[in-house]
Structure 1
Amino acid sequence: MTDPQASGAAGPGADPRRWRALGVCLVVGFMTLLDVSIVNVALPSISRGLGASSADLSWVVSGYALTFGLVLVPAGRIGDARGRRTVFMAGLAAFTLASAACGLAPTPMLLVIARLVQGAAAGFLTPQVTGLIQLLFRGPERGRAFGLFGVVVGISTAIGPLLGGLLIAAGGETSGWRWIFFVNVPIGIVALVGAYRLIPARPNETKQPLTWRTFDPVGVVLLGVAVVSLMLPLVQEQQWHGSGKWLLLLVAAVFAAAFWLWERYLTRTGRDPLVDLSLFRIRSYSSGCLIGMLYFGGFTTIFFTFTLLLQEGEHYSALEAGLATTPFAVGSAIAARVGGNLVGRLGRRLVVIGLMMVTVGLLVAILAVDLDSGRSVAFSTALPLLFAGFGSGLVISPNQTVTLSEVPVTRAGIAGAVQQTGQRIGTAAGIALVGAVFFARLSATGSESRAFIDATAITIALIVVALIVAAIDWAVTRRTGRQAGASESAPA
């Protein structure tokens, strides 16, 4: 049965609470994505406050990313079947409690465990946000809603170091790190109340049956092993020395192939697969997932290498380094809002324009660092980063809108989860690759600026590949559109 909200959510039957419900979703999405980046500048404070080792600190960062990516797909499937408000509120309650546990953690081990739980809770929340946007909005309104979501993605990723620096400065070098977790608690409680009051519940008769058998436990295990085996060596690339860790990529390939074969078998036999593989026959969806994975593999590394250049090379404080990334965040926030309004008219072409702007902005940033690698480097890179941020705002939310535009609402949760999983894998792979280049060049030259320039060249290469994919998709869309128009206008 079709979800009653699936038709005309922007028309007369639209839920009048949809924009306020979206506000709740965006606040929660901001919290979960912020916790990916905000912890990086808190690592020295955590080390001093808890006596954490480098291995502990590594797991504080990578453990969150690992469990986040691990549960996205099962969470999307559950949300599609059992109602997104229920799963959203359960995930939010778990995230809020885990944040409190992180802030109260008396030992590094308990902090790592709490971060693992926090990451899993964030993974349950994220596909519900994209699914709810698909559910509540239609037509131009959906583009605007995804535009606002793009603002959240861009700001949360870029502003994390700045907020982390502010909280540590206010709370002190040894205890300030606790406040980056405590701040989630009151926000989470208020958001829980808002979710209960504003997000529409799904009528019982529209819920799909979800038993242990129909949930596809074999698919969950196969995909889980594949995701962990792929992400673990990537997120631990700097901590696990030696080449043995890359054997896990072979394990990932084997289990991914087994998962694909198993899902095809379930589809052929008329049973419910974890992931409906027919989604990838929708060209806008498959192309958009690839673009998102490549772009997140590139753009998230900018903050990683730029922060290293500023803090290690130019001895900026955490707060100063965070301020230096603010132009990118500002540009991304402004352009994402504009992009949400334009994507209905321009489609994938808008993504192509945005990727070109990011490429140009980063090339100019490289030139600025090459010409001025002293303490004033934050000022010389401000305008290029602002321009790149504008481009980024025209990529993330428009790509999300176009990617999910042809996906049925009843599969919006799982479709968004698969897309988000690709973005998490792209982020981990990008940081591993670009980080390896950065540290190799730093070891060879002893210059953080030279290491940043060479590493950012790899970042630009990833973004250019995403640009090529987007341009091909746009060209094919234009050609097929013209052919369809010609066919419709031809005489019978």
Structure 2
Amino acid sequence: MSTAADGPDLDERPEAHSSIPGIAGLSEQRKNRALAVCLLVGFMTLLDVSIVNVALPSMQKGLSATPADLSWVVSGYALTFGLVLVPSGVFGDMVGRRTAFLVGLAAFTVASGLCGIAPGAAFLVVARLVQGLASGILGPQISGLIQEMFSGAARARAFGYFGAIVGLATAVGPLVGGLLIAAGGEEHGWRWVFFVNLPIGVVAFVLALRLIPGCVGCGKDLAKGRIDWVGVLLLGASVVAIMLPLVQQQQWTGRGKWWLVVLGVLLIIAFAQWERRVAASGHTPLVPPALIRIRSYTRGSVLGLLYFAGFTTIFFIFTLFVQNGLHYSALEAGLATTPFAIGSAVSATLGGRLVGKHGRPLVILGLVLVALGTAAAILVVHWVDGRGAGVATAGPLLVAGVGSGLVIAPNLALSLSEVPVSRAGTAGGVMQTAQRLGSALGIACVGAVFFSRVSQGKGFANAFQAGAVVAICFEVAALVVGIADWRSRKAEPGTPEAPSRPRATEG
């Protein structure tokens, strides 16, 4: 049971659906339809993380954008996305996830239209910052709604579908971007990368109004002014301080930028101390200390951070390798990543069904497959010269994709299995913030090695191999965390191995 210092709501059983107005009594058909809307929106927002990469040359030509402008188109979205994840999760917990979902969806759709009509690079950068903010609002609501609407094996399956969407959106982004640019032309094709969100956003908004359940009585804490604004400020400043030098590593020269990372770590320590103080005073902290003390959740968040540091960077350097090194078109580059997308989509769906039976070993198997697939891709690029290397990597990428599908969704389900439903948005926001920090860290480290090899004249193939070795290091680190968590669960008979057997959270 929670103590007074834990903050409210952390003694609630994760499966206590009947206490949530608007959720109890929903038919399975209604829940599944609401889930479909969430997955559609999740796919749209996650696609915008990867789809833009292949559109950068088109943007440069159409807007006469500088490399600094293009960098902010990509990194600005990631920065604002990560900045608002945790506050948005708390916002959804307080006012209801349906309300927060609709606010984020409307903002994302409008921002997408503004990106598409951008008359210049500066306008596009600002619109992308707003789009990232809106996407950050939506992210925690999706995982929170899954927590609210489903339980047990049904929840694991729902997270499996969500994991399939994460992997699919990440992998097919270059392919979809290539198709849109080919259809719209090299100079203005990039606009359709954003315009495609408009009809999807409008349809999803209408469906969300009809299908996503509301929460009667939510927002009482907000109405009483019980918002941890100091916590919001401290956490936001720490995220910006850590992510800014990481996402701007190639454009921001000099070593002075790394002092911001030190500042960010100090701000996180100050944030943790402040949250303990708020909880001890009986008020509602932004991130309850008791949430962090749920070991399955904390370990899963660390695993996600390390995995995303290795997983997302592979596409970053692989796309650069095939486009700049092998001179693939945007469409060809997208096709080259399709095997990963197929493997990830299929295995993520299966992973959601199997995690209830196998638990953490399923995630461990996935991490092993990802590491082996990445290593095989390195060997293939070393052995195969010329444009055939992009085709030859199809097998290794398929293996890595299958592994990835067994990591993302099952890890999410296991990590949230002991989290109270009332804190599902906050917990999802923290986890996704960790993933975004991991992605930024991975791209900074892997990118530094990749671009160093290119600048030394060693070629893009050599640069890809060196960068992929660094990515494997992150994947192996995630594997170590997964094994440690599995052994700990085996040593603790009272700890649930899978989300189908929840227990009440201890403070």
Instruction: Pick the TM interval, shorter chain.
Output: over 0.9
**Structure 1 equivalent of residue 234 of structure 2:** 222
Higher relative contact order (CA 8 A, sep 6+): 2
Higher mean C-alpha displacement, 157-166 vs 211-220: 211-220
1:140 counterpart = 2:122: no
Alignment-derived partner of residue 358 in structure 1: 370
User: What is residue 111 of structure 1 aligned with on the other side?
Assistant: 124
Considering only aligned residues, what root-mean-square deviation do their CA atoms show, in Å?
1.9
For residues 268-301 of structure 1, what are the alpha-carbon distances to aligned partners after superposition, in whole Å with 9 as ceiling and x for unaligned? 1111111112111111100000000000000000
The CA distance in 1 between the partners of 2:227 and 2:476, in whole Å, is: 38
Contact 1:98 1:117 in 2 (8 A): yes
**5 Å matches for 1:20-419?**
20-204=33-217, 206-211=218-223, 213-419=225-431
- List runs of 5+ in structure 2 lacking aligned partners: 1-8, 498-507
Give the secondary-structure state (helix, strand or coil) at the position aligned to 1:290: helix
Structure 1's 13 and 32: CA in aligned 2 closer, same or farther, altered over 3 A? Answer: closer
Check whether the contact 1:80–1:410 (CA below 8 A) recurs between aligned residues: yes
Residue 209 of structure 1 aligns to a residue whose secondary structure is helix
Match in the other structure for 2:459: 447
User: Structure 1 residue 467 and structure 2 residue 476: aligned?
Assistant: no
SS of 2:222 mapped into structure 1:
coil
Aligned counterparts of 2:100 and 2:364: Cα–Cα separation in 1 = 35
Partner AA of 1:88 in structure 2: F
Residues of 2 paired with 1:445 and 1:47: CA distance? 25
Counterparts of 2:216 and 2:168, CA distance in 1: 35
Cα distance in 2 for partners of 1:249, 1:7 equals 40
Cα distance, 1:195 vs. partner?
Answer: 0.4
Instruction: Kindly tell me the number of residue pairs found equivalent between the two proteins.
Output: 484
Deviations 1:391-426 (A, max 9, x none): 000000000000000000000000000000000000
Distance 1:427 1:160, change over 3 A: same
User: Could you say if the C-alpha distance between residues 374 and 21 of structure 1 is closer, same or farther in structure 2, counting changes exceeding 3 Å?
Assistant: same
- The match for 2:502 is none
Q: Which letter does structure 2 place at the counterpart of 1:367?
A: L
Kindly tell me: are residues 212 and 69 of structure 1, through their superposed partners in 2, closer, same or farther at Cα, counting changes over 3 Å? Answer: farther
1:359–1:388: 8 Å Cα contact kept in structure 2? Answer: yes
TM-score (norm 1): 0.95
TM-score (norm 2): 0.93
Take 1:188 and 1:413, find their aligned partners in 2: how far apart are those partners? Answer: 22
Q: Which residue of 1 aligns with 2:505?
A: none
Q: Which range moved further: 212-221 or 78-87?
A: 212-221
User: Which secondary structure state, in structure 1, belongs to the residue aligned with residue 493 of structure 2?
Assistant: helix
Q: Which amino acid aligns with 2:159?
A: F
Mapped to 1, the partners of 2:165 and 2:150 lie a distance apart of 18
1-structure distance, mates of 2:485, 2:357: 16
Q: CA offset at residue 445 of structure 1?
A: 4.2
CA distance in structure 2 between the partners assigned to 1:210 and 1:39 by the alignment? 36
Q: Contact 1:10 / 1:138 at 8 angstroms: preserved in 2?
A: no
The more displaced of 290-299 and 446-455 is: 446-455
Q: How far apart are the structure 1 equivalents of 2:419 and 2:304?
A: 16
What's the secondary structure of 1:210's corresponding residue?
helix
Cα deviation, 1:40-74, whole Å, max 9, x if unaligned, reads 11111111111111111111111100100000011
Stretch moving more, 133-142 or 369-378: 369-378
The sequence identity of aligned pairs, in percent, is: 57
- Separation in 2, partners of 1:239, 1:395: 32
1:213 Cα offset (Å):
4.2
Q: How many angstroms does 1:84 deviate by? A: 0.4
Separation in structure 2 between the aligned mates of residue 306 and residue 369 of structure 1, nearest angstrom: 10
- Deviation of the 1:444 alpha carbon: 2.5
Q: Larger % of helix: which?
A: 1
User: Which runs of no fewer than 5 residues in structure 1 stay unpaired?
Assistant: 486-492
Q: Quick one: distance in 1 between partners of 2:155 and 2:480?
A: 26
Change (3 A) 1:13 1:50: closer
Q: In the superposition, relative to structure 1, how do residues 79 and 8 fare at CA in structure 2: closer, same or farther (>3 Å)?
A: closer
The separation in 2 between residues aligned to 1:454 and 1:376, in whole angstroms, is 20
Alpha-carbon distance, 1:244 to partner:
1.1
Q: 1:432 aligned to 414, 436, 444, which one? A: 444
Q: Answer yes or no: is the 8 Å Cα contact 1:6–1:409 preserved in 2.
A: no
* Separation in 2, partners of 1:277, 1:237: 32
Contact 2:22 2:213 in 1 (8 A): no
Is the CA contact (8 Å cut-off) linking 1:10 and 1:139 kept in structure 2?
A: no
Cα distance in 1, alignment partners of residues 464 and 179 from structure 2: 25
Which stretch shifts more, 22-31 or 4-13? 4-13
Provide the rounded CA distance (Å) in 1 between the counterparts of 2:496 and 2:64: 65
Cα 1:5–1:57, aligned 2, differ >3 Å: closer, same or farther? farther
1:312 deviates by: 1.0
Gap change, CA 1:237 and 1:194, over 3 Å in 2: same
2:33 counterpart letter in structure 1: R
1:49-105 CA-to-partner distances (Å, cap 9, x unmatched) read 111111111111111001000000110001001100001001100000000000011
Cα 1:375–1:483, aligned 2, differ >3 Å: closer, same or farther?
A: closer
Contact 1:266 / 1:273 at 8 angstroms: preserved in 2?
yes
Residue matched to 1:488? none
Q: Matches of 2:181 and 2:458 in 1, distance apart?
A: 30
